[in-house]
Protein backbone atom coordinates (compact mmCIF):
# COMPACT_ATOMS: atom_id res chain seq x y z
CA UNK A 1 0.00 0.00 0.00
CA UNK A 2 1.37 3.39 -0.97
CA UNK A 3 2.74 5.51 1.84
CA UNK A 4 3.20 9.28 1.95
CA UNK A 5 5.39 11.31 4.29
CA UNK A 6 5.50 15.09 4.58
CA UNK A 7 8.71 16.86 5.53
CA UNK A 8 9.77 20.45 6.04
CA UNK A 9 10.15 23.19 8.63
CA UNK A 10 7.62 23.29 11.42
CA UNK A 11 8.04 27.01 11.96
CA UNK A 12 7.96 29.74 9.33
CA UNK A 13 8.14 33.49 9.86
CA UNK A 14 5.42 35.80 8.56
CA UNK A 15 5.99 37.02 4.99
CA UNK A 16 8.36 34.12 4.28
CA UNK A 17 7.81 31.03 2.16
CA UNK A 18 6.47 27.73 3.45
CA UNK A 19 8.12 24.77 1.69
CA UNK A 20 7.09 21.16 2.14
CA UNK A 21 7.97 17.92 0.39
CA UNK A 22 5.98 14.72 0.21
CA UNK A 23 7.88 11.48 -0.33
CA UNK A 24 5.93 8.59 -1.84
CA UNK A 25 6.99 5.06 -0.99
CA UNK A 26 5.68 1.54 -1.68
CA UNK A 27 4.35 2.84 -4.98
CA UNK A 28 5.20 4.99 -7.96
CA UNK A 29 4.41 8.67 -8.32
CA UNK A 30 3.86 8.09 -12.04
CA UNK A 31 0.39 8.13 -13.57
CA UNK A 32 -1.21 9.64 -10.45
CA UNK A 33 -2.46 13.02 -9.31
CA UNK A 34 -1.11 14.29 -5.98
CA UNK A 35 -2.71 16.87 -3.72
CA UNK A 36 -1.96 19.13 -0.80
CA UNK A 37 -4.67 19.69 1.80
CA UNK A 38 -4.45 21.67 5.01
CA UNK A 39 -6.32 21.87 8.29
CA UNK A 40 -5.99 24.82 10.68
CA UNK A 41 -5.98 23.76 14.33
CA UNK A 42 -9.47 22.77 15.41
CA UNK A 43 -10.96 23.52 11.99
CA UNK A 44 -11.96 21.76 8.79
CA UNK A 45 -10.13 20.65 5.68
CA UNK A 46 -9.07 22.92 2.83
CA UNK A 47 -7.84 21.66 -0.53
CA UNK A 48 -4.80 23.62 -1.74
CA UNK A 49 -4.31 22.05 -5.16
CA UNK A 50 -2.99 19.11 -7.09
CA UNK A 51 -0.15 18.22 -9.42
CA UNK A 52 -0.06 15.45 -12.01
CA UNK A 53 3.14 13.42 -12.36
CA UNK A 54 3.76 15.23 -15.65
CA UNK A 55 3.84 18.55 -13.81
CA UNK A 56 0.39 19.82 -14.73
CA UNK A 57 -1.17 21.69 -11.84
CA UNK A 58 -4.53 22.91 -10.58
CA UNK A 59 -4.61 25.28 -7.62
CA UNK A 60 -7.43 26.55 -5.45
CA UNK A 61 -8.33 30.07 -6.59
CA UNK A 62 -8.15 31.33 -3.01
CA UNK A 63 -4.44 30.43 -2.82
CA UNK A 64 -3.44 30.43 -6.47
CA UNK A 65 -1.45 33.66 -6.33
CA UNK A 66 0.82 32.26 -3.60
CA UNK A 67 1.08 28.54 -4.41
CA UNK A 68 3.54 26.61 -6.53
CA UNK A 69 3.70 22.83 -6.71
CA UNK A 70 6.40 20.76 -8.35
CA UNK A 71 7.18 17.08 -8.86
CA UNK A 72 10.41 15.09 -9.03
CA UNK A 73 9.63 11.68 -10.44
CA UNK A 74 13.23 10.50 -10.04
CA UNK A 75 12.91 10.93 -6.29
CA UNK A 76 9.24 9.94 -6.07
CA UNK A 77 8.54 13.30 -4.44
CA UNK A 78 6.32 16.29 -4.93
CA UNK A 79 6.51 19.65 -3.22
CA UNK A 80 4.52 22.68 -2.10
CA UNK A 81 5.67 26.27 -1.87
CA UNK A 82 3.38 28.86 -0.29
CA UNK A 83 4.70 32.41 -0.36
CA UNK A 84 4.02 35.45 1.83
CA UNK A 85 2.62 33.41 4.70
CA UNK A 86 0.62 34.90 7.56
CA UNK A 87 -0.64 33.45 10.80
CA UNK A 88 -3.76 32.36 8.89
CA UNK A 89 -1.58 29.78 7.12
CA UNK A 90 -0.83 27.97 10.37
CA UNK A 91 -2.19 24.47 9.86
CA UNK A 92 -1.49 20.78 9.59
CA UNK A 93 -0.49 20.21 5.99
CA UNK A 94 -1.30 16.86 4.41
CA UNK A 95 -0.17 15.39 1.15
CA UNK A 96 -2.54 12.91 -0.45
CA UNK A 97 -2.86 10.74 -3.53
CA UNK A 98 -5.51 11.82 -5.99
CA UNK A 99 -6.81 14.94 -7.63
CA UNK A 100 -10.38 14.59 -6.43
CA UNK A 101 -10.66 11.32 -4.52
CA UNK A 102 -8.00 11.34 -1.83
CA UNK A 103 -7.45 7.67 -1.13
CA UNK A 104 -4.12 7.75 0.70
CA UNK A 105 -2.82 10.44 3.02
CA UNK A 106 0.40 11.32 4.77
CA UNK A 107 0.33 11.65 8.54
CA UNK A 108 0.39 15.43 8.26
CA UNK A 109 2.87 18.02 9.46
CA UNK A 110 2.07 21.04 11.59
CA UNK A 111 3.42 24.29 10.22
CA UNK A 112 3.23 27.27 12.53
CA UNK A 113 3.62 30.78 11.19
CA UNK A 114 5.10 32.96 13.89
CA UNK A 115 7.88 35.45 14.39
CA UNK B 1 -17.11 27.54 -5.59
CA UNK B 2 -19.48 24.75 -4.61
CA UNK B 3 -20.40 24.95 -0.92
CA UNK B 4 -20.82 21.73 1.02
CA UNK B 5 -23.02 21.87 4.13
CA UNK B 6 -23.20 19.01 6.60
CA UNK B 7 -25.80 18.40 9.25
CA UNK B 8 -25.72 17.99 12.08
CA UNK B 9 -22.41 19.60 13.08
CA UNK B 10 -22.28 17.30 16.07
CA UNK B 11 -24.11 14.18 17.07
CA UNK B 12 -24.22 12.06 20.23
CA UNK B 13 -25.08 8.40 19.85
CA UNK B 14 -24.69 5.06 21.58
CA UNK B 15 -23.00 1.83 20.60
CA UNK B 16 -25.34 -0.08 18.31
CA UNK B 17 -27.27 2.98 17.15
CA UNK B 18 -28.01 3.71 13.53
CA UNK B 19 -26.84 7.18 12.58
CA UNK B 20 -27.19 9.29 9.47
CA UNK B 21 -25.18 12.32 8.46
CA UNK B 22 -26.40 14.60 5.70
CA UNK B 23 -24.35 16.57 3.18
CA UNK B 24 -25.86 19.14 0.84
CA UNK B 25 -24.10 20.70 -2.15
CA UNK B 26 -24.88 24.22 -3.30
CA UNK B 27 -25.30 22.96 -6.86
CA UNK B 28 -25.70 19.68 -8.71
CA UNK B 29 -22.59 17.52 -8.33
CA UNK B 30 -24.08 14.32 -9.77
CA UNK B 31 -22.50 11.51 -7.71
CA UNK B 32 -19.08 13.14 -7.36
CA UNK B 33 -19.04 12.90 -3.59
CA UNK B 34 -16.57 11.42 -1.11
CA UNK B 35 -16.81 10.71 2.60
CA UNK B 36 -13.88 10.68 5.03
CA UNK B 37 -13.45 9.72 8.66
CA UNK B 38 -10.94 11.56 10.84
CA UNK B 39 -9.87 10.64 14.37
CA UNK B 40 -8.07 13.12 16.63
CA UNK B 41 -4.47 13.67 15.64
CA UNK B 42 -4.78 11.46 12.57
CA UNK B 43 -5.11 11.98 8.86
CA UNK B 44 -8.53 11.54 7.28
CA UNK B 45 -9.41 8.08 6.02
CA UNK B 46 -11.25 7.70 2.73
CA UNK B 47 -14.48 5.79 3.29
CA UNK B 48 -16.67 6.25 0.23
CA UNK B 49 -16.29 7.55 -3.31
CA UNK B 50 -18.85 8.08 -6.02
CA UNK B 51 -21.44 8.78 -3.31
CA UNK B 52 -21.97 5.11 -2.48
CA UNK B 53 -18.92 2.96 -3.30
CA UNK B 54 -17.06 1.75 -0.24
CA UNK B 55 -13.28 1.89 -0.30
CA UNK B 56 -11.56 -1.45 0.10
CA UNK B 57 -11.50 -2.57 3.71
CA UNK B 58 -14.27 -0.25 4.93
CA UNK B 59 -16.82 -2.18 7.02
CA UNK B 60 -20.18 -2.84 5.42
CA UNK B 61 -21.99 -1.05 8.26
CA UNK B 62 -21.02 2.14 6.43
CA UNK B 63 -23.14 3.14 3.45
CA UNK B 64 -23.60 6.20 1.31
CA UNK B 65 -26.40 7.38 -0.89
CA UNK B 66 -27.64 10.35 -2.85
CA UNK B 67 -27.06 12.25 -6.05
CA UNK B 68 -27.39 15.77 -7.31
CA UNK B 69 -27.31 17.97 -4.23
CA UNK B 70 -28.34 15.74 -1.31
CA UNK B 71 -26.26 12.93 0.14
CA UNK B 72 -26.20 10.80 3.26
CA UNK B 73 -23.68 8.70 5.14
CA UNK B 74 -25.24 6.01 7.31
CA UNK B 75 -23.62 3.81 9.92
CA UNK B 76 -25.99 0.94 10.56
CA UNK B 77 -24.74 -0.13 14.00
CA UNK B 78 -22.22 2.11 15.73
CA UNK B 79 -19.04 0.51 16.97
CA UNK B 80 -16.59 2.09 19.45
CA UNK B 81 -14.08 2.78 16.68
CA UNK B 82 -16.63 4.81 14.69
CA UNK B 83 -16.59 7.79 17.02
CA UNK B 84 -14.79 10.40 14.96
CA UNK B 85 -15.37 13.42 12.73
CA UNK B 86 -16.82 12.81 9.28
CA UNK B 87 -16.35 15.04 6.25
CA UNK B 88 -18.00 15.07 2.86
CA UNK B 89 -16.11 16.45 -0.14
CA UNK B 90 -17.06 16.98 -3.77
CA UNK B 91 -14.85 16.35 -6.79
CA UNK B 92 -17.27 17.64 -9.39
CA UNK B 93 -15.21 20.68 -10.28
CA UNK B 94 -12.39 22.86 -9.05
CA UNK B 95 -11.88 23.86 -6.35
CA UNK B 96 -12.56 20.69 -4.39
CA UNK B 97 -14.34 21.66 -1.19
CA UNK B 98 -15.18 19.87 2.03
CA UNK B 99 -18.11 20.10 4.37
CA UNK B 100 -17.45 21.60 7.77
CA UNK B 101 -17.46 18.19 9.43
CA UNK B 102 -19.77 16.23 11.74
CA UNK B 103 -18.37 15.27 15.12
CA UNK B 104 -19.83 11.94 16.21
CA UNK B 105 -19.54 11.52 19.98
CA UNK B 106 -20.41 8.80 22.44
CA UNK B 107 -23.61 9.43 24.39
B43: nearest CB among A62, A94, A100? A94
Percentage of chain B with pLDDT > 70? 100
What gap in Å lies between CA A47 and CA A6, rounded to an integer? 16
Backbone angles phi, psi at B81, to 5 degrees: -75, -5
- Average pLDDT over chain B, rounded to whole? 97
Residue-level pLDDT at B38:
98
What gap in Å lies between CA A113 and CA B15, rounded to an integer? 40
What gap in Å lies between CA A27 and CA B63, rounded to an integer? 29
Give the tens place of pLDDT for each residue, B7-27: 999 999 999 999 999 999 999
Is A31 strand, coil or helix? Answer: coil
Residue B55's Cβ-count burial label (10 Å; 0-12, 13-18, 19+) is middle
Give the tens place of pLDDT for each residue, A57-88: 999 999 999 999 999 999 999 999 999 999 99
Q: Which residue of A has its CA nearest to B53?
A: A101
Residue B3 CB coordination number (10 Å)? 12
What gap in Å lies between CA A12 and CA A19, rounded to an integer? 9
Interface probe for A, chosen from B87, B94, B99 (most Cβ of A below 10 Å), is B94
Residue A94's Cβ-count burial label (10 Å; 0-12, 13-18, 19+) is buried
Residue-level pLDDT at A21:
98
A44: nearest CB among B32, B96, B98? B98
- Give chain A as a 3 state SS string: CCEEEEECCCEECCCCCEEEEEEEECCCCCCCEEEEEEECCCCCCEEEEEEECCCCEEECCCCCCCEEEEEECCCCEEEEEECCCCHHHCEEEEEEECCCCCCEECCCEEEEECC
Residue B15, min C-alpha distance to chain A (Å): 25
Is A47 strand, coil or helix? Answer: strand
Contact B35, B104 (CB under 8 A): no
Amino acid sequence: QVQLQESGPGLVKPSETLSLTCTVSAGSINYWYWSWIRQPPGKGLEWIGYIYYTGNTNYSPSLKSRVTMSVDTSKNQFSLNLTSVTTADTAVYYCARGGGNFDSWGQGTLVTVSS
Amino acid sequence: DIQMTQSPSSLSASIGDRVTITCRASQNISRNLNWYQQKPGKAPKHLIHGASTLQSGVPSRFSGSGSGTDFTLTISSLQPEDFATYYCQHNHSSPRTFGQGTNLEIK
